[in-house]
């Protein structure tokens, strides 16, 4: 099932021809010297991801023992005449085959583990940070840092994702309005480039590679280690959900809430107090005006008996909205002062007064909240179904139009999972990173997290819906987050001319043979250097 290559000699010929049809592929792998191993059987999981839409079996899976195994594989493949490609795969939560390698080699990153918490920083950085290997899960990073009373300040909604995976995209959640995405909170990376080079990079050391890799869709290097900024973690959170029937009121409240975090300059005392009165987490959702326990208003309260249909306004439309917000606190903060602070923070909001629900939970439980949903869905055998998810960035100036054209046109069968809509501040995103966002100071994350359930519409119908929604988004000058295009012209439009040219230049610099992340469908394998330069200048 697998071959350990730690002592492989150049004149030894393992039976690679059983798995690779081209002699060049066999020759390339015969040169490998690894401490880990390659698997050839029982590797079907490497062709499976969260989306269950694409299925591209690899020829082999590498289980690296160290970063040197990854570099050795890429270096040998890059220096050969092989047509092999290489993809790094974490827990497999891509939705469209982005971490697959058709007849190539998938690197199983789960063997790349290790977490070191530095609560006082080190000689290079006085700030607290955690250094985590690329295959580590964010939930494990959280557990380790909480032992020191610290935690990263920017998260994803689901924590069973790998560090290297989310940093190759952006990593967004309800903290993004305040701290930016996860890629804006990274101090340093260890990267294996498409040339097989192991590079330590940061904003001041090898900055071009550093910023290209963050949000770079895996095109320029495999993230094998990251230093992540930490902050003091609260022990508990006051978790509030507040409902709206009017989108404009809902929109204005959200944008008002994130405005106090927009400043990037040094703050005066009154500005610091204003930030103290800012929620730690802000997300918005769209739900149906039905009693559906998953997609209707019954999903909003923390307990089903907290709400009845009679509590809704008589003029409520077919869809409703709710705001999800939190305030972090420690046990010594419990008392009248905390209640007064929360009440003062909620006072400017214009939600439906009778439809506000609160609960108090630990900080860990809140950040890991989606795992509880996972366990429930797994118990009902509804977790391992196709997930034709669609994630978008919509400019704030267009979000009301988007609501009219999309949200208000949805019918119950078109839900099939949560729909998120919440604003973020563009100045919290590092413009040097590769992730593409709208050119407005405020834009919205809109996510259709739909599940192709046996009782719902078919997968093809849901993919058609996604195409229709994406077209509306693009006409409104929005961008696709976690993009999945198939044509070069589509990628050019997504990036825009200048950013596309820079993207191509970086590909030429760091992965000239287009070995890495073939599942993104951006660059074909064995693209000649002069072709890349031609693209960069076109």
CA dihedral 363, 365, 371, 376 (to 10 degrees): -150
Q: Is 180 left (phi over 0), alpha (psi -120 to 50) or beta?
A: left
Residue 293 tokens, joined: 């326990």
| Separation between Cα atoms, residue 87 and residue 89, nearest integer Å | 6
- Please name the helix (run of DSSP H) or strand (run of DSSP E) that holds residue 509, with its range, or none: helix 497-510
Hey, CA dihedral for 301, 447, 180, 398, is it positive or negative? Answer: negative
Phi, psi of 189 (to 5 degrees): -130, 150
Q: Rounded to an integer, what is the distance from CA 27 to the centroid of its chain?
A: 37
Name which of 371, 343, 349, 332 is nearest 155 in CA terms.
371
For the purposes of burial, counting CB atoms within 10 Å of the CB of 7, is it exposed (0-12), middle (13-18) or buried (19 or more)? exposed
CA 496 to chain centre: 22
CB 324 within 8 A of CB 284: yes
Q: Which whole-number Å values give the CA distances from 157 to 132, 388, 390, in the listed order?
A: 19, 17, 15
Return the SS3 of 28: helix
HEC assignment per residue over 188-205: EEEEEECCCCEEEEECCC
Q: How far is CA 33 from CA 64, 65, 68, 71, 133, in A?
A: 11, 12, 10, 11, 22
The catalytic residue positions are 93, 157, 283
CA atoms within 13 A on the CB side of 467: 8
Dist. CA 199–CA 192, nearest whole Å:
6
Quickly tell me which residue has 């930030």 as its tokens: 275
């Amino acid at each position: 099932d697998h071959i350990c290559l730690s002592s492989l000699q150049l004149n030894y010929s393992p039976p690679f021809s059983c798995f690779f049809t081209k002699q060049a592929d066999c020759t390339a792998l015969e040169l490998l010297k690894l401490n880990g191993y390659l698997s050839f059987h029982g590797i079907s999981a490497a062709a499976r991801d969260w989306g269950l839409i694409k299925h591209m079996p690899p020829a082999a899976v590498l289980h690296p023992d160290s970063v040197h195994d990854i570099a050795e594989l890429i270096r040998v493949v890059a220096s050969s005449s092989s047509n092999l490609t290489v993809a790094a795969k974490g827990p497999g939560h891509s939705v469209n085959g982005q971490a697959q390698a058709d007849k190539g080699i998938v690197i199983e990153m789960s063997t790349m583990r290790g977490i070191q918490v530095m609560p006082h920083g080190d000689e290079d950085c006085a700030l607290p940070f955690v250094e985590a290997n690329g295959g580590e899960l964010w939930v494990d990073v959280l557990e380790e840092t909480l032992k020191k009373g610290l935690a990263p300040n920017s998260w994803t909604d689901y924590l069973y994702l790998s560090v290297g995976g989310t940093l190759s995209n952006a990593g967004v959640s309800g903290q993004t309005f305040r701290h930016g995405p996860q890629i804006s909170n990274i101090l340093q990376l260890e990267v294996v480039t498409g040339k097989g080079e192991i590079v330590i990079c940061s904003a001041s050391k090898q900055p071009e590679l550093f910023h290209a890799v963050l949000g770079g869709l895996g095109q320029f290097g495999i993230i094998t280690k990251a230093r992540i900024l930490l902050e003091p973690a609260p022990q508990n959170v006051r978790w509030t959900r507040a409902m709206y029937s009017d989108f404009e009121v809902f929109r204005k409240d959200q944008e008002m809430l994130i405005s106090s975090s927009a400043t990037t300059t040094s703050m005066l005392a009154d500005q610091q107090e204003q930030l103290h009165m800012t929620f730690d987490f802000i997300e918005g959702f769209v739900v149906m005006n039905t009693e559906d326990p998953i997609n209707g208003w019954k999903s909003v309260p923390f307990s089903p008996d907290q709400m009845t249909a009679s509590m809704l306004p008589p003029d409520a439309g077919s869809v409703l909205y709710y705001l999800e917000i939190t305030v972090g606190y420690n046990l010594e903060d419990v008392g009248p002062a905390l209640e007064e602070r929360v009440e003062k923070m909620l006072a400017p909001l214009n939600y439906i007064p009778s439809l506000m629900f609160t609960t108090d939970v630990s900080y860990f439980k809140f950040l890991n909240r989606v795992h509880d949903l996972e366990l429930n869905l797994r118990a009902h055998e509804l977790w391992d179904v196709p997930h034709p998810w669609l994630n978008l960035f919509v400019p704030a100036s267009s979000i009301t139009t988007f609501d009219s054209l999309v949200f208000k046109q949805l019918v119950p069968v078109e839900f099939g999972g949560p729909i998120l809509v919440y604003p973020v501040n563009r100045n919290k995103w590092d413009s040097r990173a590769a992730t593409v966002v709208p050119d407005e100071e405020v834009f919205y994350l809109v996510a259709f997290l739909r599940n192709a359930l046996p009782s719902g519409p078919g997968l093809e119908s849901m993919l058609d819906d996604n195409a229709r929604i994406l077209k509306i988004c693009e006409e409104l000058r929005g961008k696709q987050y976690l993009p999945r295009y198939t044509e070069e012209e589509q990628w050019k439009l997504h990036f825009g001319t200048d950013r596309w040219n820079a993207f191509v230049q970086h590909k030429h610099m760091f992965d000239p043979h287009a070995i890495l992340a073939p599942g993104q469908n951006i660059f074909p394998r064995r693209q000649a250097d002069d072709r890349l330069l031609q693209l960069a200048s076109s």
